[in-house]
Amino acid sequence: MSSSSKLDSFISNPRISLWKLTIPMMLGLFVNSIYILVDTYFVGSMLGEDGTAALSALGYVMPFYFIIMGITFGIAGGTTTVIAQYIGENNQTGSSHAAQNSLLIAVLLAFMNVIFTYLFGADVISFQGADAKVLSLALEYFYIMAYGSIFLIFGIFIRGILIGEGESIVPMYALGAGTILNIILDPFFIDYYGISGAAYATMVSHIMVILIFLYFIFIKQITYSNLNFKNFSINFSIWKKIFNLGIPSSISMLIMSCGLFIMNTILVDDAHVAGYNLANRIENFATLALISLSTSQVTIIGMFYGAKKYHLIKPMIRYTTVWAMIIGGLFSILSLLFIDKVAPLFFPSNSTLDLLMKESAIQSTIDYYSIMAFSYPFIGLTMVSSRAMQAISVAWPMILITFSRVIILQCSLTYLFIVILGKDVLWAWYAITISCIIAGIIAYLMRLYFVNQLKEKL
C-alpha cells in the first residue's frame, strides 16, 4: 500500500484503523505471553526438587533480560515513530533511510550486549543475593539467554519498522510461529538440558521470528521502506531523531528494570522473588495488550502529526485512553477471580523438600494480585498518555513519569515498609499499587498540557 492511501485510510476512519493495527499485534503478543507462562510452567514442573529454585532463578535473571528488552524496545519505538511521521509526510526516502539506519543501530546494540554480558553479567546476577543453589541455576540460564538475545534485538527492530508502516499482521504471524516452536521445543530441551534447555528453546524461536520477517520483507516485498541497502548511507540526523524519541523510552524501561533489580534485593526471600516473578509473567497479558493499543496509537498519531492533521490527534488519544482503562479494568476483575486457581499451576507438586517455599511463593503471587488489581486501569492511562506524547515528538516526560513511579515511589516506599518499618511483604505490593495510581494521574496531566500545545500550530 502506498503512503498516501495508507494515510487516507487512517484519516477516514481512525478508530477502525486503530483496531486493525491493535488486534493482530495483541494476538501475536498474547501468544508470546502464553509461551512465557508455558516456559514458566515447564521450568517449575519438570525440574523436580529444583523446580521452585529454578523459578527463583528466572526471577533473578529477569532484571537483566528486561534491561536488554527495554533498551531495544525503546529505541525501536523511536524508529516506529520516525517512520510513521515520514509516511505522514509522504516521504519514502526518509522512511527507507530511517529503517536502514535503525538496523545499523541494532547491530551496535547487539555488540554492546555481548561485551556487557561477558564483562559484567555474572556480577549483576550474583549481586542480588540469591543463595548458592539458585545462583547456580540463574547463571546457567542467564548466559544462554543473554548471548542469544542478539536475535531478539534484531527481531524487535524489524517489528518496529513494520509497525511504523502500519503493518501488524506479519509480526503476528512471526511471533505466533516462534512461540509455537518454543512451546514444542521446551519440554524436550528442558528434559535434556535442564534449565538451560528453556533458554536454548527461546533462542531458536527468536531465530525463527527473524527468518519469517526476512521472508516477508525480501521475498514478498511487503514494506513501503526500501531495505535492500543498495543506496545506504549513515545518516546521523536520522539517528538523532530516533534517539530523541527512543532514548527516553529506553531509559524509562531501564528504570523499570533497575526497579525490578532493587525489588529483588529488598524482598531477599527467594520464595517472594519467585512469587513476584510469576506475578509479573501473568501480568504480561494485561501489559502486552496495553502495549499493543498504545503502540498502534503511536503509528496513527505519528502519521497525523507528520501530515499536520493536528485536529485528529486529541480525539484519537481520548478514544484510546477509554479503551486502555477498560482493558486494565477487565484484567483487574479476572485476576481477582482466578489468581488463586492459576498460581499453583506453575509450581512443582512433586517437591517435598521445598514445600514451605512453594506455599510461600504461591501466597505471594495471590496477595500481589489482591492488591495490584486496583491499579491496572491507571497503568493503561500511563501507557497511552506516555506514548501519545512520544508520537507528537515529546518523549522526555516518559522518563520523569517512570522515575517517579519506580524509584521515588515504588522502591522507596517498599524500602520504607519492608526494611525500615519491618512490615510484611504485603506492604511491598501496596507500594507498587500506590506508585501506579499516582503515575497514571501525573501522565494524564502532562499529556493534557502537551497535546493542548498543538492548538497553537493549527
User: What is the tens place of the pLDDT at every residue in 201-217?
Assistant: 989 999 999 999 999 99
Per-residue pLDDT, 33:
66
Averaging pLDDT over each range in 28-42, 60-74, 261-275, 390-404, which range is the top one?
390-404
Per-residue pLDDT, 139:
87
* pLDDT exceeds cutoff 70 at 48: no
- Which residue, among 384, 127, 398, has the nearest Cα to 254 in the 3D structure? 398
Written as nine digits, the cell of 334 is 479476572
Average pLDDT across the chain, whole number: 85
Per-residue pLDDT, 411:
93
Per-residue pLDDT, 330:
94
Query: Which of 41-50, 87-96, 287-296 has the least mean pLDDT?
Result: 41-50
Of residues 188 and 32, more confidently modeled: 188
Q: How far, in Å, are 130, 258, 294, 334 from residue 36 at the CA level? A: 22, 21, 22, 19
Q: Residues 220-227: what's their mean pLDDT?
A: 89
pTM of the entire predicted model: 0.80
Triad 124, 126, 131: Cα angle to 5°? 155
Query: Which of 122-126, 166-170, 423-427 has the least mean pLDDT?
Result: 122-126
Per-residue pLDDT, 44:
65
Of residues 103 and 289, more confidently modeled: 103
Q: Give the tens place of pLDDT for each residue, 12-44.
A: 888 998 998 888 888 877 776 676 667 777 776
Q: Give the tens place of pLDDT for each residue, 269-291.
A: 667 777 787 787 788 778 888 98
Per-residue pLDDT, 192:
85
Q: For a pLDDT cut of 70, what percent of the chain falls above it?
A: 90
Averaging pLDDT over each range in 135-139, 177-181, 399-403, 425-429, which range is the top one?
399-403
Q: Residues 387-402: what's their mean pLDDT?
A: 92
Q: Residues 438-457: what's their mean pLDDT?
A: 89
* pLDDT exceeds cutoff 70 at 268: no
Per-residue pLDDT, 352:
46
